[in-house]
């Protein structure tokens, strides 16, 4: 089980489709992943400013592909928040999603490092990362099936608003 806080992508179509349907917290930025000799190097730039650099030993130690597949098939959770025109929350849901058609082509672990830099619109440096405990590099094909709303945080408020509106209407009709 995992939770996704933010996903930085450089594809507007990918951002719109994942954010609007399931609520993936996608942000337009410039991620880059490349092999530099014996290291895998990942960088994240937001509006031309470097906000993260990660390094990992490239193909250091193979992982069990069946175990990785099982992990990828575990449910994931997202907090889907869509604003109303007045900036209040129109949708605020905990959404569960599951990967299907998972084919793991390769998976490795190894020593890694992470460097985060402050940015007002990409606040990754505010994450309390004290130590990198593990790192995984994987190559896989994955499909996402439709999500399921686990909890609607506004449902109770909506019920109260509807009940309040009905009471107001009843009291006005009784006058």
Strand duo 112-116 + 49-57: pairing = antiparallel
What pLDDT is stored for residue 83 in this prediction? Answer: 85
Q: Could you confirm whether 80 is annotated as catalytic? A: no
Indicate whether 162 pLDDT > 70.
Answer: no
Contact 43, 52 (CB under 8 A): yes
CA angle 45/147/158 to nearest 5° reads 100
pLDDT tier at 109 (50, 70, 90 boundaries)? very high
What pLDDT is stored for residue 164 in this prediction? Answer: 45
What pLDDT is stored for residue 148 in this prediction? Answer: 92
d(C-alpha 171, C-alpha 175), whole Å? 7
What count of other Cβ atoms lies within 10 Å of the Cβ of residue 36? 9
* Catalytic position from the list 26, 59, 126, 158: 26
d(C-alpha 110, C-alpha 58), whole Å? 8
> What is the percent of the chain with per-residue pLDDT over 70, rounded to a whole number?
87
| Average pLDDT of the chain to the nearest whole number | 87
Length of the chain: 175
Spacing of C-alpha 115 from chain mean position: 20
């Amino acid at each position: 089980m995992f939770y996704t806080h933010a996903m930085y992508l450089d594809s507007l179509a990918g951002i719109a489709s994942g954010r609007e349907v399931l609520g993936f917290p996608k942000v337009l930025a410039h991620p880059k992943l490349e092999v530099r000799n014996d290291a895998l190097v990942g960088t994240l730039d937001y509006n031309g400013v470097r906000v993260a650099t990660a390094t990992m030993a490239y193909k250091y130690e193979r992982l069990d592909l069946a175990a990785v597949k099982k992990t990828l098939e575990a449910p994931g959770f997202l907090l889907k928040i869509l604003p109303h025109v007045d900036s209040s929350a129109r949708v605020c849901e905990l959404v569960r999603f599951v990967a299907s058609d998972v084919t793991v082509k390769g998976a490795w672990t190894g020593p890694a490092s992470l460097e985060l830099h402050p940015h007002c619109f990409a606040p990754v440096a505010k994450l309390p990362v004290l130590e990198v405990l593990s790192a995984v590099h994987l190559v896989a094909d994955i499909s996402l099936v439709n999500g399921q709303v686990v909890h609607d945080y506004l449902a109770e408020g909506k019920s109260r608003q509807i009940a309040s509106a009905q009471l107001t209407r009843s009291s006005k009709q009784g006058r």
